[in-house]
Amino acid sequence: MDLGLSEEQEMLKTSARDFLQKECPKKLVKQLDESDEGYSPELWQKIAGLGWLGLMFPDKYGGSGGSFLDLVVLLEEMGYNILPGPFFSTVVLGGPTILAAGNKEQKRELLPGIASGEIILTLALTEPSVGYDASSVKTTAVAHNGEYVINGTKLFVPDANVADLLLCVARTKEAENPEDGITIFLVDAKSPGVDCTLLKTLARDKQCEVLFNNASVPKENILGELDQGWPVVQDALQKATVAKCAEMVGGAQAALDMAVAYAKERIQFNRPIGSFQAIQHYCANMVSDVDGSRFVTYKAAWKVSEGLPATMDVAVAKAWTSEAYRRVTLLAHQIFGAIGFTMDHDLHLYYRRAKASEMMFGDSAFQRAIVSRELGL
């Protein structure tokens, strides 16, 4: 296993940081946080022009044929600079799922539109129980006259307020094993019977409640096989979990860089506060958390990208990184003091995202349970 970046990945990393620093300053991030849409269509089209939206798609679908590890490199930079908008929901949750499970017609119809920025996607999975296991899927889809009628509530659906298409995970058959009878449907977000409500969240990310009330979907809109959708969902969740870890690593690195720079320039008692042992230890702990998070994240990302078994590695990465990101931002607040808690400062942008990221795709307790199970305990 070589955790070093290739020359192409280094170029992607550098170009992404330069682009995001120029085109997505913190002033814009704060404006989009307060908006209902949460993204800039102009910036979205610029991102599409860079080829990022189709990074993992084959050339024939308008993509560049990149790997999952390439996407992880890009997401770390997005976490560092904070990119608001539906990139994660479209490029991590949506596009790869269609690429993996869609039929030829679905791929031909949808993937080029995703790569060009014309189609925004999201995954409607979690429900009021907010579980990431098959038993938590209570939304039903019942066959009727060549269509499926969907009823249920999906909660914390990212970017559903601006999505064109929802990948709705529903139960089409009751079975003793809850993983049987799960099907994924491609649902037009604006179709009758689909009602979306934007939620107010700590991170000001665009999480939504989506109600399906007798929403009819043609049977041709089934993604993958009828009743066999859970393995597809598991694969999507595994990739999304690692991708979220990459975002968190980037955010933690940004908080560390801000805090160290401030510790060097802030003078108290006629000396930089970085010369005090307490501040030095804060920074040392932050470095340990950031570097540890990067290692476990890229180890998991490499295994996923290579198609190797990675269940334990992904759970370890999420359990460690989500707590480490929170610790880093809290220590950064200690170093900055009162100024770091003002809305004019940038640090709160990272702290709020750290808190939100802890819960996404399973908190640390959920991930530790997976690790225990993989150990045979």
Strand pairing report for 121-124 and 165-171: parallel
Query: Residue 1's pLDDT is what?
Result: 56
Q: What is the pTM of this model?
A: 0.95
The answer on pLDDT for 331 being more than 80 is yes
Please give the backbone phi and psi of residue 336, each rounded to the nearest 5 degrees, phi first.
-75, -30
pLDDT of 287 > 80? The answer is yes
d(CA 59, CA 44): 20
Q: Say how many residues make up the chain.
A: 377
pLDDT of residue 341: 84
Span 240-281, pLDDT tens digits: 999 999 999 999 999 999 999 999 999 999 999 999 999 999
Residue-level pLDDT at 43? 97
Tracing tokens 């990948």 back to the chain, one arrives at 167
- 333-356 pLDDT, tens digit per residue, is 999 998 888 888 999 999 999 999
Residue pLDDT, tens place only, 204-239: 899 999 999 999 999 999 999 999 999 999 999 999
Taking 80 as the threshold, does the pLDDT of residue 69 lie above it?
A: yes
Ordered by where they begin, the domains of the chain are 7-119 (1.10.540.10), 123-227 (2.40.110.10), 231-374 (1.20.140.10)
- The 10s digit of each residue's pLDDT in 162-208 is 999 999 999 999 999 999 999 999 999 999 999 999 999 888 899 99
Phi and psi angles of residue 151, each rounded to the nearest 5 degrees, phi first: -135, 135
SS3 141: strand
Q: What average pLDDT does the chain have?
A: 95
Gyration radius of the chain's alpha carbons: 21
Contact 329, 252 (CB under 8 A): yes
Q: Is the pLDDT of residue 161 over 80?
A: yes
